[in-house]
Amino acid sequence: MNTLRNHLGLIASLVIVVLIGLGPIVSQNAASREVAFTVLRAIALASGLNILLGYTGYVSFGHIVFFGLGGYIGLYMITAQGQSLWVAMLLAGLSSAILAFLLGKSILRLRGAYFALATIGVNEAVRAFINNFEPFGGPIGMSVNFGVYQKYGGAMQALNMSFYVMLALTIVVVIMSYLVKTSKFGLGLLAIREDEDAAEVMGVPAPDSKTWAYVLSAIIPGMVGALFFFKNGSIEPAEAFPLHTSIEMIVMVMLGGQGTVLGPLLGAAGYQRLRGLLLINPLFKNIQLAVSGVVLLIVILFIPAGVVGWLRRRWPQWRRVLQ
Amino acid sequence: MILQIQGVSKNFGGLQALQNVTFDLPEGQILGLIGPNGAGKTTLFNVINGVYLPSKGRIIFQGEDVTHRNTTYMAHKGLARTHQIVKPLNDMTVLENVMVGACFGREGHGLAQARKIAHEVLEFIGLSERADQLASSLNVAQKKRLEMARALASRPYLLLLDEVLAGLNPSEIDHMVDVVKRIREQGITIIMIEHVMHAIMNVSDRILVLDYGQQIAEGSPEEVSNNPKVIEAYLGDPKLAQRLMEGAE
């Protein structure tokens, strides 16, 4: 019982993820499954970003680069190398991790706005590179031969399976986020976020910690990318590296509450819901990104700690649940 | 000798912040570092601590040449410091602040042990009731104590205290001086920068005086406060020295 109480924060987050996943499983409705897939994808991406943005305090405007790179590596493995989805996802995660490690060693020396600008540069550079990289199909991209899906019991079955894999990935990312937050490593990250100089004076190995935080925050987006484009059936540069999705990820994390496990989850689910409503509204369907900009502005101005941060402050006795 | 400073200089462009500073610090002593504003006291801390590299000279900590080591390395070796301008980790609780010291300092504890040490240190320093508050909610005096607690939680061999008494009222100063003495009793060597003269004369075994980056005097509190150069550069009034010494007794 006692150990359960200590992990209430994790349990609360997992319950929400499972509930989101359970809806389409129970209803067996393909449309609601696709909606849930999008929400889970957003949660996984936002939770990954949160490890860097929320725990470590480094704003990455180009985090989608890991999603895109993972997608490309994954699809290349599936189409050109004939590998299974599992191998593709593993390699996608690994290559995202390696890219993050190298970037961490170089651009994480930069602080604040300079780091944020550098991440945009990285995203654009990778996009430009892939645009001109023939093995990945250059500007046309790659597409999956329908025969590939036979391995997974046909295209319909593959869509269904992708949903379960997405659910599993989301559960993994939530657990990972919680483990990082409650570990000694996580304590060091929080110290870096609050005052990097003071943290170093206290002995936090800031350069290494930041690099590993970056690596951890990149792995899951990489794997999600491979899965997403496997399900999508094709990939092209503009679709793989959309800068505005990076910004949407930041909005989700800020809205829900940066630096908490539950925050990115609520933020992503809430934002996707809002986006869905806007897209079917004739007035807002073309300016839904402007609305997300306004949301970000309102959050930063009035509840900089996000929804979960605000709730934690309002009801401190609920802190155990609102991790 | 726990610390040996050998001919250390530090330039910032054309400004000579430290010129050929040399001293040895035996274990278990309290060394007071005084001097006018801009004399290079905090710069000396930053050089010892690895925040800055010295332009010239060597720093030996416990027999090891640490001249080119960074601040994280020094923390692991058993050096801790407080900041003149406090640097609380605002959005973390007081307890978590202190746990960072215990986790990443010399002994590098795990979270459970660090929590225990943090509670002990907070008890010692008198911040126990605030353990679960956010560090940002503390007042200045409490933030100074938090800086001390963080430094102590790392169980250092050498502690650098940068103006821990500044901005405190007389009763808070008495409390802090008492804490400093009790830290020394635990066998921790201390260098402290201070402008509160009666306190530092009272608590230090030796005093070092810096002026424009130069060491102008070194010795016992009596010697230093009677030194004409120190009186001219810093104390200002010969009678003051005498009053200080009387106050200290």
- pLDDT single digits (tens) A13-38: 999 999 999 888 888 888 889 999 99
- Best B42, B49, B69, B72 member to test A by mutation, with max A CBs in 10 Å, is B72
Closest residue of chain A to B136, computed from CA coordinates: A194
Q: What distance separates the 2 farthest-apart alpha carbons in chain B?
A: 54
Whole-angstrom Cα distance, residue A312 to residue A288?
29
Contacts of A195 in chain B (CB under 8 A): 87-89
Strand partners, B190: B30, B159
Question: Are residues B196 and B221 located together in one domain of the fold?
Answer: yes
Contacts of A185 in chain B (CB under 8 A): none
Question: Are residues B74 and B164 located together in one domain of the fold?
Answer: yes
**Which of A194, A197, A202 is nearest residue B75 as measured by Cβ atoms?**
A202
Nearest Cα of chain A lies from the Cα of B65 at a distance, in angstroms, of: 19
Whole-angstrom Cα distance, residue B149 to residue B129?
14
**Which of A194, A195, A204 is nearest residue B104 as measured by Cβ atoms?**
A204
Distances (CA, A) of B139 to A134, A193, B101, B122, B133: 62, 22, 20, 16, 12
CB contact under 8 A, A183 and B111: yes
Report which DSSP code applies to A141: -
Whether the CB of A179 is below 8 Å from some CB of chain B: the reply is no
**Which of B90, B105, B111 is nearest residue A203 as measured by Cβ atoms?**
B105
Question: Are residues B32 and B134 located together in one domain of the fold?
Answer: no
Amino acid (1-letter code) at residue A99: L
Whole-angstrom Cα distance, residue B5 to residue A214?
39
Which of B155, B171, B189 delimits the end of a domain?
B155
Of A53-62, A275-284, B133-142, B186-195, the poorest mean pLDDT is in: A275-284
Strand partners, B206: B31
| pLDDT of amino acid B232 | 78
Whole-angstrom Cα distance, residue A314 to residue B145?
28
Q: Which of B120, B110, B175 is nearest to B142 (CA)?
A: B175
Question: Are residues B121 and B176 located together in one domain of the fold?
Answer: no
Closest residue of chain A to B95, computed from CA coordinates: A187
Q: Which of B208, B162, B213 is nearest to B17 (CA)?
A: B213
Q: How many domains does chain B have?
A: 2
Whole-angstrom Cα distance, residue B34 to residue B211?
9
Spatial contact of A274 and A291, defined as CB atoms under 8 Å apart:
yes
Contacts of B136 in chain A (CB under 8 A): none
Question: Are residues B148 and B165 located together in one domain of the fold?
Answer: no
CB contact under 8 A, A190 and B110: no
Q: How many CB atoms lie within 10 A of CB A257?
A: 28
Question: Are residues B124 and B45 located together in one domain of the fold?
Answer: no
Spatial contact of B141 and B172, defined as CB atoms under 8 Å apart:
yes
Contacts of B83 in chain A (CB under 8 A): 198, 201
Q: Where residue B61 sits, what CATH number does that domain have?
A: 3.40.50.300
Question: Are residues B119 and B235 located together in one domain of the fold?
Answer: no
pLDDT tens-digit series, residues B72-115: 999 999 999 999 889 999 989 999 999 999 999 888 889 999 99
Q: State which residues form the domain around B137.
A: 86-155
Strand partners, B211: B214
Domain ranges of chain A: 2-318
Mean pLDDT, rounded, of chain A: 90
| pLDDT of amino acid B248 | 53
CATH code linked to domain A2-318: 1.10.3470
Question: Are residues B240 and B172 located together in one domain of the fold?
Answer: yes
Contacts of B88 in chain A (CB under 8 A): 194-195
Whole-angstrom Cα distance, residue B200 to residue B161?
12
Closest residue of chain A to B46, computed from CA coordinates: A201
| pLDDT of amino acid A299 | 85
Question: Are residues B166 and B95 located together in one domain of the fold?
Answer: no
Strand partners, B159: B80, B190
Distances (CA, A) of A283 to A77, A273, A274, A276, A291: 42, 17, 14, 13, 11
| pLDDT of amino acid A219 | 95
Question: Are residues B175 and B205 located together in one domain of the fold?
Answer: yes
**Exposed, middle or buried, B64 (CB in 10 Å: 0-12/13-18/19+)?**
exposed
Strand partners, B30: B190
Which of B121, B155, B189 delimits the end of a domain?
B155
| pLDDT of amino acid A319 | 75
Spatial contact of B95 and B115, defined as CB atoms under 8 Å apart:
yes
Question: Are residues B97 and B203 located together in one domain of the fold?
Answer: no
- ipTM at complex level: 0.88
Report which DSSP code applies to A26: H
Q: What are A99's two structure tokens?
A: 């890219």
Q: Which of B220, B188, B217 is nearest to B201 (CA)?
A: B220
Which of B155, B181, B209 delimits the end of a domain?
B155
| pLDDT of amino acid A274 | 87
Is residue A150 pLDDT above 90, yes or no?
no
Whole-angstrom Cα distance, residue B65 to residue B89?
31
Q: What are A134's two structure tokens?
A: 């023939």
Spatial contact of B163 and B195, defined as CB atoms under 8 Å apart:
yes
Nearest Cα of chain B lies from the Cα of A95 at a distance, in angstroms, of: 30
Residue B189 in 3-state DSSP? Answer: strand
Q: φ, ψ for residue B10 (rounded to 5)?
A: -140, 125
Q: What are A223's two structure tokens?
A: 């794997």
Using CB atoms and an 8 Å cut-off, which of residues 51-110 of chain B contact chain A? 51, 70-72, 75-76, 80-81, 83, 87-92, 96, 99-101, 103-106, 108, 110
pLDDT tens-digit series, residues A71-128: 999 999 999 888 899 999 999 999 999 999 999 988 888 888 899 899 999 999 999 9
| String of DSSP letters for A33-60 | HHHHHHHHHHHHHHHHHHIIIIII----
Distances (CA, A) of A258 to A18, A49, A183, A316: 22, 10, 17, 17
